[in-house]
Structure 1
């Protein structure tokens, strides 16, 4: 039973890596777009026009389903790994910037369902 669950986890991980590899967007590009928002995401600075411009730019760059999944995986990873980020604030950021996305930015988001 343990071997089966390990195999399933490995297959899921490989599938997510393949989806990100098919994208033209990198996590570095996603990080650059979100970087101006870090103060806001940590509740230490107001929401700025520069932050929203980065979010709009990412949304505009994510043209294909593979791009949108890649951005989702990068945001999901960042939401879980960057210290001090308020997850409710992160989840509401696109909406606050007037950018509709069909998922919440959260470590629990299933990016495989993003299309």
Structure 2
């Protein structure tokens, strides 16, 4: 009986691992990359720091699949609703860091429509 219980537990744990998400990119990764940008995005002045731009570049590289891009978008949208950044600064951030993101950060962004 113990053997069957152990097999059942292993089976359920393996299902949990595969059900978490299609995306390899986790919100904690997105936050780690973008935390250095918060002061720039909320101050409405100056230019982004080197650390901020390094994070934006890392995020742009990491968001390589549709699932990753949607996960990054959803995470960013959750943060945007709490931090209330300057919308123009958020839209301009990738360009200010000489990179591009596969989506535009805006309050009306629909993450489910990102390819």
Q: Same fold (TM over 0.5)?
A: yes
Q: How does 1:85-96 map to 2 (within 5 A)?
A: 85-96=85-96
SS of 2:94 mapped into structure 1: helix
Instruction: Give structure 2 stretches of 5+ with no counterpart.
Output: 1-19
Residues 27 and 41 (structure 1), Cα distance of their counterparts in 2 relative to 1, 3 Å cut: same
Task: Tell me the residue number matched to 1:28.
Answer: 28
CA-CA distance at 1:79 after TM superposition: 1.2
TM-score (norm 1): 0.74
Q: Quick one: distance in 2 between partners of 1:107 and 1:78?
A: 11
Task: Tell me the residue number matched to 1:73.
Answer: 74
Q: How does 1:2-81 map to 2 (within 5 A)?
A: 21-43=21-43, 46-81=47-82
Q: Quick one: distance in 2 between partners of 1:92 and 1:111?
A: 19
Instruction: Give structure 1 stretches of 5+ with no counterpart.
Output: 1-19
TM-score (norm 2): 0.74
Count of aligned pairs: 95
Q: Quick one: distance in 1 between partners of 2:94 and 2:42?
A: 15
Aligned residues: CA RMSD: 1.8
Asked if structure 1 preserves the Cα contact closer than 8 Å seen for 2:23 and 2:67, the reply is yes
Asked if structure 1 preserves the Cα contact closer than 8 Å seen for 2:60 and 2:102, the reply is no
Q: Quick one: distance in 1 between partners of 2:88 and 2:109?
A: 13
Q: Quick one: distance in 1 between partners of 2:97 and 2:47?
A: 12
Higher Cα radius of gyration: 2
Task: Tell me the residue number matched to 2:97.
Answer: 97
Q: Quick one: distance in 2 between partners of 1:73 and 1:106?
A: 12
